[in-house]
């Protein structure tokens, strides 16, 4: 069907097989996201949310066109970078300031880091009872190279009062309802994360302007934390004397139960805790699931692994549904909060259906679960082992 239409079928996981989505067939262009690879799977077109199939994430550094899109509202259009400003304010700033993009680029030292960005809801589709929201599978993750200035350099330029505990961002994206008094999203991080070397106010991805859908012309990037903490189309940062209370910071948004609960439990808002660093996880990016392989030949497989603010220290794969595991080497990260790489070759003992499972272990000795991690009402933090299907003939 893709061949006929000349484009990857969007919404294909929600379409019955054999059905040609008429809207797409007639207006294929309208489903192509500007600046993005046509192989991304669009989960939602209003707001735009699209994930990257694992086999398109094989690059060591994620190309801009293959980084997922998770929008909460409507991105700004006709951005004029000459007029773009960033306002640093909040009750705990000593000296509120407004910077133009040119100010940021000229006043502060530039830094480039490769940082892993992952949606807190990546993997949501596997939870049962189902959690509402975009039903991400594995592809709301990527690790491009980001260039900008350190958030801490800018915050320190304005001065931070002693009572500061959090920062909160404000972006130029519009609320879906069109109500200008509402923010689509406004989240943040505690000061200790904000002041880390790798916390950036970025204007470039892989040496080029940010893609429109990933925050052009300016955004925050906090590697290893839910990507929602990294505000896109960044217009303001407030230094707060309390936990930031912007849109999608309160209630159950981007929170999980503070204590483990049984699947389907009702959890009171006060028993939900804000997600901070993301759990250890890995992805098989080569080959594509559904591979056919010839018995007797070695089967090459590779991918990435990451662990929030920690490092991945162990990597294993299994070809027998987790009954036995093969230890394989994993590369060192190019910098803190960047994903790491692994590759190996395996031999299959006989013909048949196999699944290759990948399992990473972090520097605290915590490994990925083979089934789902603890259920939570909003379907966050599914770091169950990724697996691909292989038929050996």
Partner 1 sequence: MNSKTLLQLGFATSLAFSAVSYAGQQLDKDTGLVIDDGFDIVKANCTACHSAALVNQNRMSRETWLETIRWMQEKQGLWPLMQNEVIILDYLEKHYSPTDSGRRKNLPEHLLPAEQ
Which of these ranges, 12-20, 76-84, 194-202, 308-316, lies near partner 1 under the rule CB under 8 A?
12-20
Contact pattern from residue 338 through residue 357 relative to partner 1, giving x for each residue in contact according to CB under 8 A and a dash for the rest: ---------------x-x--
Among 30, 102, 107, 128, binds partner 1 (CB under 8 A): 128
Cβ-Cβ contacts under 8 Å for 279 (sequence gap 6 or more): 307, 308, 366, 368, 373, 381, 383
- Is 389 a binder of partner 1 (CB under 8 A)? yes
Q: What is the DSSP string of 35-46?
A: TS-TTSEEEEET
Q: Is 372 in the site for partner 1 (CB under 8 A)?
A: yes
Instruction: Select 125 or 337, whichever has its Cβ closest to partner 1.
Output: 125
Among 290, 327, 329, 347, binds partner 1 (CB under 8 A): 290
Strands annotated E in 248-298: 255-257, 272-274, 281-286, 291-293
Q: Which of residues 47-66 bind partner 1 (CB under 8 A)?
A: 47
3-state SS, residue 12: helix
CB of 377 to partner 1, least distance (A): 10
Interface residue with partner 1, options 291, 313, 328, 334 (CB under 8 A): 291
Work out which of 72, 122, 134, 282 binds partner 1, going by CB under 8 A: 134
Q: Where are the alpha helices (DSSP H) in the chain?
A: 2-5, 22-26, 101-107, 151-158, 191-194
* Residue 387 interacting with partner 1 (CB under 8 A): yes
Q: Considering the rule CB under 8 A, would residue 176 count as an interface residue with partner 1?
A: yes
Identify which of 367, 279, 338 has the alpha carbon closest to the alpha carbon of residue 117. Answer: 338
- Token pair, residue 206, equals 């892989």
Q: Is 17 in the site for partner 1 (CB under 8 A)?
A: yes
Distance CA 76, CA 67 (A): 19
| Residues counted in the chain | 393
CB of 206 vs partner 1, minimal distance in Å:
28
Joined together, the tokens standing for residue 330 give 């994993």
Of 244, 232, 114, residue with least CA distance to 171: 232
Q: Judged by CB under 8 A, does residue 11 bind partner 1? A: yes
Of 106, 292, 296, 324, the one binding partner 1 by CB under 8 A? 292
- Residues 86, 203 contacting (CB under 8 angstroms): no
Q: Please identify, using beta-carbon distances, which residue of 182 and 345 lies nearer to partner 1.
A: 182
Sites of contact with partner 1 (CB under 8 A) = 11-23, 42-47, 126, 128-130, 132-135, 176-177, 179, 289-292, 353, 355, 370-372, 384, 387-391, 393
């Amino acid at each position: 069907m893709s061949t006929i239409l000349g484009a990857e079928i969007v919404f294909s996981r929600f379409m019955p097989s054999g059905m040609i989505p008429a809207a797409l067939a007639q207006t294929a262009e309208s489903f192509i996201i500007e600046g993005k690879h046509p192989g991304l799977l669009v989960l939602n077109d209003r707001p735009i949310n699209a994930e990257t199939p694992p086999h398109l994430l094989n690059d060591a550094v994620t190309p801009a066109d293959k980084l997922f899109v998770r929008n909460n509202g409507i991105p700004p259009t006709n951005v004029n970078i000459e007029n773009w400003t960033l306002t640093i304010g909040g009750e705990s700033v000593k000296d509120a300031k407004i910077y133009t993009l040119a100010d940021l680029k000229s006043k502060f030292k530039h830094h480039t880091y490769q940082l892993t960005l992952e949606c807190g809801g990546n993997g949501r589709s596997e939870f049962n009872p189902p959690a509402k929201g975009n039903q991400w599978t594995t592809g709301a993750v990527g690790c491009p190279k980001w260039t900008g200035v350190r958030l801490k350099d800018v915050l320190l330029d304005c001065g931070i009062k002693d009572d500061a505990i959090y920062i909160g961002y404000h972006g130029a994206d519009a609320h879906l309802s069109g109500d200008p008094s509402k923010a689509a999203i406004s989240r943040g991080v505690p000061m200790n994360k904000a002041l880390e070397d790798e916390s950036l106010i970025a204007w470039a991805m892989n040496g080029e302007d940010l893609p429109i859908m990933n925050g052009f012309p300016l955004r925050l990037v906090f590697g290893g934390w839910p990507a929602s903490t990294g505000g896109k189309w960044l217009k303001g940062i407030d230094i707060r004397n309390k936990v930031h209370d912007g849109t999608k910071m309160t209630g159950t948004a981007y929170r999980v139960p503070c204590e483990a609960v049984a699947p389907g439990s009702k959890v009171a808002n006060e028993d939900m805790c804000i997600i901070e660093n993301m759990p250890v996880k890995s992805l098989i990016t080569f080959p594509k699931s559904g591979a056919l392989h010839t018995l007797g030949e070695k089967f090459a497989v590779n991918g990435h692994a990451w662990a929030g603010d920690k490092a991945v220290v162990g990597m294993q794969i299994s070809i027998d549904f987790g009954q036995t595991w093969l230890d394989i080497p994993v590369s060192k990260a190019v910098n803190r909060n960047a994903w790491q790489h692994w590759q190996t070759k395996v031999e299959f003992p006989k013909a048949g259906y196999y699944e290759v499972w990948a399992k990473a272990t972090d520097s605290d000795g915590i490994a990925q679960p083979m089934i789902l991690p603890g259920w939570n009402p909003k379907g966050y933090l599914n770091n169950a082992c990724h697996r691909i299907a292989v038929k050996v003939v």
